[in-house]
Amino acid sequence: MGSAELQGALWSAGARDWSQFIEPTQVPFYEAAFDAIGVGPGVRLLDAGCGSGLALVMAKDRGALPTGLDAAVGLLEVARERLPDADLRQGDLEEMPFDDDLFDAVTAFNSVQFAADATQALREMRRVAAPGAPITVTTWGPPELCEMAPVLGSLGALLPLPPAGVGGPFALSAPGAVESLMTSAGLSPEDVIDVATPFVFPSLDLAVRVMLSTGPGKRAVDVVGEPAALDALAGAFSPHVRDDGTLSLDNVFRVRVARA
Ligand SMILES: C[S@@+](CC[C@H](N)C(=O)[O-])C[C@H]1O[C@@H](n2cnc3c(N)ncnc32)[C@H](O)[C@@H]1O
């Protein structure tokens, strides 16, 4: 296993909060990617790093045939409740348990940057895709366009050193970083689509709590304890609290489209 064991444990702990509160904010980039590559009736789609499976539910609603892979058993449990008939496997992005040339389209939403060897993850996406099939890799855009960047940074600041094999949320957000890895992995980059993806929370308390459901949140709790992690998050979120107590943070996610 590459980074799946470590990442699977980090992302499993808060699976229900992730699927209820954070995953729905990502619908804009799921739609943008599926529109860009024509996910529709009969398309055999693999979502690599599918988490709790909302993107696959949306693909199924378009008539596609959904398959998912993720490291986190906790998130897969939610995905299996939503898609009892789909092939949803626990495994590693860097060593996928699928035959060559199997899928008509492959997506990775906000997952590849957490792999220890992202180029290997992209090679695997290419291997399991049919020749010429479309592939999308979506990550956070440049941090200066993401109001969530300082929030995630407040967790990062609590941690002494990134342990080996832990990629961070913004690890592949520099302009051209994903495209260059795609080329190294034998993919042909085509388009880049920026998608406005605001993160909206009903209250400061909830915003702070649900961030502990993320991999970086869980890691911060493991290292410095929950009270320190909650304090850091409250400080980072508080400038965004509006008069009615809700929060909305603007972000850009970047969808890169390539061909296998
Ligand atoms: C930010 S979450 C995104 C989940 C989902 N794509 C979504 O849009 O909600 C990152 C996901 O990548 C998965 N992940 C990270 N590293 C992985 C690896 N090496 N192999 C498989 N999955 C991995 C985590 O388990 C987690 O589900």
pLDDT at 167: 65
Nearest residue CA, atom 4 of ligand 1?
51
Average pLDDT over residues 92-100: 97
Nearest residue CA, atom 10 of ligand 1?
111
Confidence of residue 127 (pLDDT cuts 50, 70, 90): very high
Nearest residue CA, atom 20 of ligand 1?
92
Average pLDDT over residues 118-143: 97
Which is nearest to 253 in space by CA: 205, 192, 163?
A: 192
pLDDT at 160: 74
* Beta strands in 166-251, from DSSP E residues, in sequence order: 188-196, 199-201, 247-249
Ligand 1 atom with least separation from CA of 22: 9
Ligand 1 atom with least separation from CA of 3: 19
pLDDT at 137: 98
Ligand 1 atom with least separation from CA of 93: 20
Lining ligand 1 with CB less than 6 A are: 2-4, 7-8, 11, 23, 26, 49-51, 55, 70-72, 75, 92-94, 109-111, 114-115
Average pLDDT over residues 154-180: 83
Confidence of residue 91 (pLDDT cuts 50, 70, 90): very high
pLDDT at 163: 57
Average pLDDT over residues 128-150: 97
pLDDT at 3: 83
Give the tens place of pLDDT for each residue, 230-239: 999 999 999 9
Q: 168 is written with which tokens?
A: 């961070």
Is a pLDDT exceeding 70 seen at residue 166?
A: no
Q: Which of the residue ranges 41-45, 166-170, 211-215 would you say has the lowest mean pLDDT?
A: 166-170
Hey, which of 30, 50, 109, 114 would you mutate to test ligand 1's pocket, going by the most ligand atoms within 8 Å of its Cβ? 114
pLDDT at 168: 82
pTM of the predicted protein model = 0.96
Nearest residue CA, atom 7 of ligand 1?
51
Nearest residue CA, atom 23 of ligand 1?
71
The dihedral region occupied by 165, where left means phi > 0, alpha psi between -120 and 50, and beta the remainder, is left
pLDDT at 17: 95
Report the percent of the chain where pLDDT is more than 70. 97
Q: Are 151 and 233 in contact (CB under 8 A)?
A: yes
Ligand 1 atom with least separation from CA of 18: 9
Is a pLDDT exceeding 80 seen at residue 162?
A: no
Confidence of residue 159 (pLDDT cuts 50, 70, 90): confident
Q: 182 is written with which tokens?
A: 């795609």
Average pLDDT over residues 87-104: 98
Largest CA distance in the chain: 54
Name residues whose C-beta falls within 8 Å of residue 111's C-beta, 6 or more positions apart in sequence: 48, 49, 51, 70, 93
For residue 79, report the distance from its CA to the centre of ligand 1, in Å: 13
pLDDT at 2: 64
